[in-house]
């Protein structure tokens, strides 16, 4: 009859094999789900594949102009900043070209038409895994409500106001805004 230590070792080895097998299955399942969902969520796929690379790219120690070895991240960033700043030159502001007549460009802008179908089509093309735009609204929120968006009376008024402003600007009139 085996001793308690031998039984414990056998149970431990059996449990370790079972855990290893389950871990392999879970990893295989996770990787297949990543591969299937790569079109919709490519960030997760590339983050996972990048984490599995053996070569990790890091900024190593640098030697500055005085011959000192720099290892501290703050010192490294300062040295990089000094180098990149030395590449750029100061611009001569005494000879800045003047803008030409922009009325031809404004007349092109005046002819842009935006309708509901065009907006919906653009919203359907949004990708949920991308970051929000300048309006700070996530595409994950916009995609499901694309079909529900209807122009409001306020948005129609704003569109008419924008059209009027473009029309006046195309005639060369200067506009000033008074707020308050």
The whole-number pLDDT of residue 120 equals 76
Residue 66 lies in a domain: no
Give Cα 135 to chain centroid, integer Å: 14
CA distance 27 to 18: 14
Segment 146-178, tens digit of pLDDT: 777 666 655 666 666 666 766 666 666 555 555
Task: Work out the mean pLDDT of the chain and round it to a whole number.
Answer: 78
Q: pTM of this prediction?
A: 0.36
pLDDT bucket at 51, cuts 50 / 70 / 90 = confident
**Rounded mean pLDDT of 75-88?**
85
In the chain, how many domains are there?
A: 2
Q: Which domain-ending residue is among 51, 68, 85? A: 51
User: pLDDT at residue 45 above 80?
Assistant: yes
- Structural domain containing residue 165: 102-170
CA distance 67 to 60: 15
Residues 6+ apart with CB under 8 A from 149: 116, 119, 120, 123
Q: Indicate whether 148 belongs to any domain.
A: yes
CA–chain centroid gap for 11, Å, is 49
Residue 141 lies in a domain: yes
Q: Which backbone phi and psi does 135 adopt, to 5 degrees?
A: -80, -5
Asked if the structure places residue 87 within a domain, the reply is no
Q: Note whether residue 8 is domain-resident.
A: yes
Average pLDDT over residues 103-131: 72
Domain membership flag for residue 76: no
């Amino acid at each position: 009859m085996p001793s308690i230590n031998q039984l414990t070792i056998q149970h431990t080895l059996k449990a370790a094999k079972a855990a290893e097998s389950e871990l392999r299955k879970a990893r295989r399942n996770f990787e297949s789900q990543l591969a299937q969902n790569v079109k919709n969520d490519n960030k997760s796929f590339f983050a996972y594949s990048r984490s599995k690379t053996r070569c990790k790219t890091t900024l190593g120690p640098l030697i500055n102009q005085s011959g000192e070895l720099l290892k501290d991240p703050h010192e490294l960033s300062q040295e990089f900043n000094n180098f990149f700043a030395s590449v750029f030159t100061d611009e001569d502001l005494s000879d800045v070209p003047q803008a030409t007549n922009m009325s031809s460009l404004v007349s092109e802008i005046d002819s842009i038409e935006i309708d509901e179908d065009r907006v919906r089509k653009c919203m359907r093309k949004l990708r949920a895994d991308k970051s929000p735009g300048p309006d700070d609204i996530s595409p994950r929120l916009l995609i499901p409500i694309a079909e529900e968006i209807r122009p409001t009376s306020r948005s129609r008024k704003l569109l008419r106001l924008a059209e009027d402003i473009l029309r006046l600007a195309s005639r060369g009139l200067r506009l000033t805004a008074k707020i308050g």
